Amino acid sequence: MVHWRLRRLARPAVHLARRVTGRTPPQTGDKANDAHMSYRARSATEELAQSTLNNPEWPRLLILDASPMGGGSATGQLLASEFRGWPGSDLLQVSSSNGQQLRVHRHNSTSTQGAPADLADCLEQIQTFDPEVVFFRPDSRSVPLYELWKALDDGHIPLALNIVDDWLLLLSEGEDPSAQSRADEVAELAARAGLGWAISGSMAQDLNDRYGLNFDVISNTVDRGTWPTTTAPKEQPLVFNYAGWPANHKGGASLNQLALVANQFRSRQMRLNIKMPDNGDNAIYANAYRKLSNVKVGPWLFGNEYRQFLSDSGVNVLTFNFDDSTIGYLRHSFANRIPDLMMAGRPILVVGPRELLSVRYLASAGAIHVPELELEQIDAAVRHLLDDKQARDVMAAKIANESLRFDAAVIRPRFQTKLMAFARGQQISDAELITDPLRIDIVNTP
């Protein structure tokens, strides 16, 4: 057992009800008073978000997550988005990407691979780091991280729990012998945690009901200044771009059907570009796609190349499988690529079941939705996109406007402020600093 010396930061608590300056819209009666108080609360908490992030005494944060921050996985990219700007000297991560080997990542280092370490070495490095808050995302690969947490927990250090999909359901339905043990571990973590973070509002509610822990919402965001300016795409062939992982409940069955549809068109009409990892189960898909006409397969992209790929699309593509396991696994999840697709500002074709939150959101945001895994429906959707440029332009404008929901400049300071407040024993309600992008008000343009 490691015993921790938890230090209270010298910075005094910030009172959210303090008066701030600013103009209030003219209203009368009780509604006017309510609106005025709401305005003051928003102003005060937004000021808190900025002043907190300007405070040089950031709490020392330990992240326990199987995926390395900023790595090739979607969750690694999500971590990088959530914690961008957190000082490297106050940030330490331990990962376990293969479900066995612990690796220590120091984010003030030039190395992004992390250093392998055994349990005792991890504990020693963590004790030297002396974290003031722990952010733990358990998944099927995190058994070594759970054992590490049990060894370091003294019952006092603040623990925030992060869950992004229902991976426990997959273990249970797959009759994995470890399913019950993993479920017990997550329940134990939830009982110990003081705060939870889910990837969507519906998932937060589901987890609240399941564990009795208050879950807030944080999902992927976009740094708008890093995206290229969208230019008019080529009309012929119309380019459909997909970037993702088709294997393992990630949409391969639906992508297969789209590839077969693309194979039927003339090369001057359309082309389907697929950027994906070419290893493991994904290699099976890649090898099959290479045999088709009008389908071009390339390696997964990162950073500027990834953003340029989506921005140059005629149509961006997102696919989900229709089987019961996928629906259960992703029902309340919110795909990490959605903010990127919205920011690219191009029309979107989504193939997937209505039961998924991601699919329903995209359909409501202007995407063309194929609700059943039928070649005829996919073919009809593709032909509609090919034939109606005006519809594509209207869709692109609506999607570009929706991207305002996912602005990192708005959401990230709120998320980091809430986590800082939690580390300090303060409380900030979700109503005061909303981090759920689907609840953020945006101005709809014609």
Residues in Cβ contact with 408 at an 8 Å cutoff, skipping those fewer than 6 apart? 81, 84, 221, 222, 223, 224
CA distance 420 to 52: 8
Domains 61-221+407-439 and 224-404 agree in fold:
yes
Each residue's pLDDT tens digit, 293-311 = 999 999 989 889 999 999 9
Say how far apart CA 243 and CA 253 lie, in whole Å: 15
pLDDT tens for 388-428 read: 999 999 999 999 999 999 999 999 999 999 999 999 998 77
| DSSP β-bridge partners for residue 317 | 242, 349
Query: Could you tell me the CA-to-CA distances from 278 to 74, 281, 285, 297, 366 in Å, in that order?
Result: 16, 8, 9, 9, 31
| Token pair of 281 as six digits | 């189960």
Domain topology for 61-221+407-439: Rossmann fold (3.40.50)
pLDDT, tens only, 303-358: 899 999 999 999 999 999 999 999 999 999 999 999 999 999 999 999 999 999 99
Radius of gyration of the chain measured on its C-alpha atoms: 23
Residue-wise pLDDT tens digits, 28-64: 344 444 444 333 444 455 565 666 556 657 999 999 9
Give Cα 362 to chain centroid, integer Å. Answer: 15
Average pLDDT, the chain: 85
Tell me which residue of 324, 8, 362, 376 sits closest to 170, measured CA to CA.
324
Amino acid at 88: G
158-196 pLDDT tens trace: 999 999 989 898 888 888 898 899 999 999 999 999 999
User: From CA 246, how far away is CA 238, in angstroms rounded?
Assistant: 22
The reported pLDDT for the residue numbered 112 is 63
Are 350 and 363 within 8 A, CB to CB? yes
In CATH terms, 224-404 corresponds, of 3.20.20.70, 3.40.50.2000, 3.40.630.30, 3.30.110.40, to 3.40.50.2000
Amino acid 26: pLDDT: 34
User: For the purposes of burial, counting CB atoms within 10 Å of the CB of 3, is it exposed (0-12), middle (13-18) or buried (19 or more)?
Assistant: exposed
Q: Which two tokens stand for residue 391?
A: 């519809």
Q: What is the DSSP letter of 237?
A: S
Which 3 state secondary structure label does DSSP give 250?
A: coil
Distance CA 305, CA 303 (A): 6
Q: Which of 96, 89, 91, 49 is nearest to 75 (CA)?
A: 96
CB 24 within 8 A of CB 437: no
pLDDT in tens, 192-218: 999 999 999 999 999 999 999 999 999
Task: Please state, in angstroms and rounded to a whole number, the distance separating the CA atoms of residues 64 and 40.
Answer: 37
pTM: 0.85
Hey, what are 76's tokens?
Answer: 């690694």
- C-alpha distance from residue 107 to each of 91, 94, 122, 354 (Å): 6, 11, 15, 40
- In the chain, where the domains are located: 61-221+407-439, 224-404
Number of H helices, E strands in the chain: 16, 14
pLDDT reading at 109 higher than 70: no
The answer to whether the Cα torsion of 32, 33, 39, 43 is positive or negative is: positive
